[in-house]
Copies of this chain bind each other. A is one copy, B any other.
């Protein structure tokens, strides 16, 4: 709020966002109290307002933090010249490792962003749409050059990828013993080939 740009402040603010993300992920936006967040940070409740002007702003920051470089990575994937398979696996990898690395910010974005007022959701919506469109673009290109079957509903396909990744992301966040790499492998395979094909196809 006051001297915003000192590196120390930035660093503390980042800690605050992570703390808020952890608490929101655990208790939900409405179920979490500012006291919870403050004590996660190791400060007193009133002091939180040094980093966030309101609880709502905390949610906003967490959501932005959760989706920001996740979208950027998708840009890189879409711009790359890899095969469709490689791009799909990169997408799944990016998505699921976001869940694990960034702790819970992406989960918060997915589950709680609807509690932000319309106006604060515009930016998030743009980023989300942008993400989906990039992914759709990858599908379209793959259909065009024959890597995927003609007639595939690319919008549907993109949504399905995102949905499946979110679902597995939740499981990963909740169960830390899961092997993320294994999940990535298997999920990519299923998305590509389904359950059906005999080993010969793979």
Contact = CB atoms under 8 A, between A and B. Distances in A.
A152 interface: yes
B195 A195 contact: no
A154 to B, nearest CB: 9
B31 A195 contact: no
Given A31-B115, A115-B28, A115-B31, A193 B197 contact: yes
Give the oligomeric copy count: 4
Interface string A87-116: 010000000000000000000000100010
Given A30-B28, A149-B195, A194-B190, A163 B167 contact: yes
Contact of A197 (B27, B149, B166, B195): B149
Interface residues of A, number: 43
Nearest to A1: B35
B28 A149 contact: no
Interface in A107-147: 111, 115, 139, 147
Interface in A147-202: 147-153, 156-157, 159-160, 162-164, 166-168, 170-171, 183, 186-187, 190-199, 201-202
